[in-house]
Each structure stands twice: as C-alpha cells, then as structure tokens.
Amino acid sequence: MNRQARPIKATFSVRALAWLALASGLALAQAQSALTSPQSDPKRPGITQEARARVRQAMNAVGLVLVRNAGDTANPQPWSRGSAVVVREDGIVSTNLHVVIQDKTDRVYDELLFSLPGDKPSFWSGPRRYRMKLVLTSREYDLALLRIVSDEANRALPPSMIFPAIRIGNSRQVQVLDDVTIIGFPEKGGSTVTANLGVVEGTDVAGNWIKTDARLIHGNSGGAAVNNDGELIGIPSKVVVDEDKTRTYGAVGFLRPAHLVAAMLKDVRNMETAGLSVDAAPSRPPANHNSSSTTTAANTPVITVRGVVRSAADGKPIGGVRIGLIRLGSQDVNEVTLLTWGGTNPDGQFELNRPVPAGRYTLMARALGYQVFSRDVEIDQKSARLAIELRPSS
C-alpha cells in the first residue's frame, strides 16, 4: 500500500474524497455521541461537561483566513484559504505557512483577512473581519505568525483592543490516546467554525509531529488542536492517506506541536524587546532563508552567533564555558533576560542555540577557574563570530 503525505490544502483523489466523506459522517456521529453521552468507544470515553465548556471557550480564538490578490478581476472577493488561531491577546495569530502563500510559489497573498466566530457578540465592539500582516515564518515546520493590524476597512485598531487568545499547552507531554478536539473551518463546513473529536494516535518527536485519528480536511490547516483543558497542543497541518490503485484504506492527521508556536512567540518577544518592529511585512517571505535559523522575521534578518573562547593568559582554547546573550544592560540572567545561550566544545568553539535579530546585547560568559566575562556587543552579519578572552580567577 502506498502511504502518501499531503498538506491539508492538497486536492485529494476521487477515492480519497469518497473515503473522507464517509469518514466525515462517522466522525460527526462520534463527535455528537461524545458530546451528548458518557458512553463511547473504549479508547474515547467522552469528555466531561467541564472539558466541553473549556473547549467551547477555545473555539472563540479560532478564525477563518481569507485571501485576495490586488487586481484579480476573476476573483474580486476574498476567498477562504484555511484556519488560524489567536495565540496572543494583542492580535498575534498562528497558522500554517502554506495557508498564506500562493500554491507552488513563495508569494504571500496581497491581502490577508481574518474572520473570527460571530456567535459570541459580547467579545466584539467592532467588525469581525480584520487585516493581518506576516510577522514570522518557519519554512521547516510550515508555520507562520501574523499580526492583526486593522479592520477590513483599514481603520486602525484601538490600543486597548483585546482578542480572545487561546492558552498554549505543553505539547511535549501529550500521550497516546489523549483526547483531542480539532477546531477550524473545513472547506465543506461553510463559514462557521467546526469541531470534531479524536484521540492522539502517536507522536514523532524527531519529526516534530503529533498523529491523530481526528478528521482533518482541506480548510482545517492552521486551526487548533486542543486538549480537554482547552489548551492548544497542535496546529493541524497535513493528512497522510493510505491507498493503493483500487481503494483507500484510511488516513492519519498530523499536527505540528504547539511548543513550536511557543518558540516562535518567544522570537517575537525578543525582537520587540530589542526595539525592532514586527508589524510591517513585505509582500513575499525572504528569498534567502537562513538555514541556521528555524524562524525568519518577515522584514528582519536573524543571526546565529558563533565564536571561540580562549584564555587571556596563554591563548589556549577553553572548553565547558557557558555563554549567553541577555537584554542590553541587564544585570541578572533569568528566563526573561536570557535570549540565547550555548557552551564551548574542547576546542573552545561555540554556537548559541537560537538566532537573534541584529542589534545590541550584553554578552556574558562563565567558566570554572575564570572571572565572569560581561561586555556589551553589537551583533550584525559582520560580527556574528565573536572572540572572547577569559582571565583566570585570582
């Protein structure tokens, strides 16, 4: 049997569509049963009333992504492209990268619109459709962060505008047979948010995937997979269909773990801390993706810091040194100030674990038997390789 991996947005074969139609009906029946009755499949016992309430709350953070290209007379109205989820109350939204770029190209759609559910009017004092701009992308994991910047009429949002953001759960602790609910806007589900139940079928730590039997089809891309606490544990990204030339046997849905989104949000916070704008984006992602970086700001290069540490006394390399970049002028090293870190090998060489935007930082280094090193540095493409000299302790 051939196992074919496909993004959710891909066009399925007639056999696959037929199977998915059947699976959709079965999944809907299972979801309705789980939501109305405590009995069910032994591996899916049905979620509690409290869990349902938390999942329903999470649904308010999931919206529909619509796109449009300027001058496209054949398609003058925005059309639905996929789903997205608000991951920060000030309007940072997560989705799949393939949702916001045109098929087989690197070109971002000219207009990116985001429509949130309309069945909770108490959340909204204005329009339910907003414009977004690209902020950060991960080509490796097919993820993107965007910022809501205005309403559809290009009116600026008030600074006090708060969006219903989802909580990000600990996707590293997800286990086989955990309950999962998929929330999104499948293409055949119309313009209203849709939820269906499933379980975690497995995890692929090396490949950064969570596998599920929950129904994923075109349009679910970029939406939310949540646990019974209503926390985001994954982003629905692709379906693998098992079929041969005569029939389709089944399918497995694949989710990108939510800790990847959390890491991208940390990159955004680091850029904001460094005083860099993350609101403006060009019409296409950067052409030269930095292979040493997981994520790329839409308008800001990020740099992987490398270097060597030697003894100031004899010039010999020092192994086992801990090096970190912290916020400029900070005196303490903690989870807020520490931006990227690493250690030296026996040859004294190091590479910090996370790329940072160009800018000024405080560099610190510590090693047993040597004085603590601290210096303000300018990080740019020319100074990404640092030379540090440590003085022996007196």
350 near 340, Cβ under 8 Å? no
Mean pLDDT value of segment 129-156: 90
Winning range, highest mean pLDDT, from 21-35, 63-77, 198-212 = 198-212
Instruction: Give the residue from 15, 9, 47 showing the smallest Cα distance to 241.
Output: 15
Give the pLDDT band of residue 245 (cuts 50, 70, 90): low
Least-confidence region, from 100-104, 182-186, 341-345: 100-104
Give the pLDDT band of residue 286 (cuts 50, 70, 90): very low
For residue range 81-130, list pLDDT tens digits in order: 999 999 999 999 999 999 998 876 778 899 999 998 754 443 444 447 89
Tell the burial category of 121 from Cβ atoms under 10 Å away from its Cβ (0-12, 13-18, 19+): exposed
Q: Which residues, 6+ apart, have CB-to-CB distance to 284 below 8 Å?
A: 101, 106, 107, 108
pLDDT value for 40? 42
Instruction: Give percent of the chain with pLDDT exceeding 70.
Output: 74
Q: How high does pLDDT run on average in the chain?
A: 79
Pairing mode, if any, of strands 385-390 and 306-311? parallel
H/E segment holding residue 148: strand 143-151
pLDDT value for 88? 95
**Could you tell me how far CA 356 lies from the centroid of its own chain?**
18
Q: Which structure tokens are listed for 90?
A: 């000030």
Number of Cβ within 10 Å of residue 193's Cβ equals: 22
Note the pTM of the prediction, 2 decimals: 0.62
For residue range 3-45, list pLDDT tens digits in order: 555 566 543 343 443 333 334 443 334 444 444 444 444 445 5
Mean pLDDT value of segment 53-82: 88
Least-confidence region, from 82-86, 186-190, 264-268, 371-375: 186-190
Instruction: Give the residue from 344, 337, 327 showing the smallest Cα distance to 386.
Output: 344
pLDDT value for 166? 96
Q: Give the residue range(s) of CATH 2.40.10.120 domains in the chain.
A: 1-273
Instruction: Give percent of the chain with pLDDT exceeding 90.
Output: 40
Quote the CA–CA distance of 23 and 251 in Å, as a whole number. Answer: 9
Q: Give the residue range(s) of CATH 2.60.40.10 domains in the chain.
A: 301-390
Instruction: Give the residue from 115, 99, 123 showing the smallest Cα distance to 151.
Output: 115
pLDDT value for 74? 76
For residue range 46-62, list pLDDT tens digits in order: 689 999 999 999 999 99
113 to 97, 118, 162, 237: CA distances (angstroms): 14, 15, 17, 20
Class of domain 301-390: mainly beta
Half-sphere exposure of residue 377: CA atoms within 13 angstroms, side-chain side:
24
Cα torsion 170, 173, 179, 182: sign: positive
Q: Which structure tokens are listed for 317?
A: 């390399």
Q: Name beta bridge partners: 252.
A: 240
pLDDT value for 125? 42
Least-confidence region, from 39-48, 242-251, 280-289: 280-289
326 near 372, Cβ under 8 Å? no
pLDDT value for 11? 37
Give the pLDDT band of residue 216 (cuts 50, 70, 90): confident
Quote the CA–CA distance of 118 and 284 in Å, as a whole number. Answer: 31
Quote the CA–CA distance of 234 and 98 in Å, as a whole number. Answer: 16
Instruction: Give the residue from 390, 364, 394, 389 showing the smallest Cα distance to 376.
Output: 364
352 near 334, Cβ under 8 Å? no
Check if CATH label 2.60.120.10 holds for domain 1-273. Answer: no
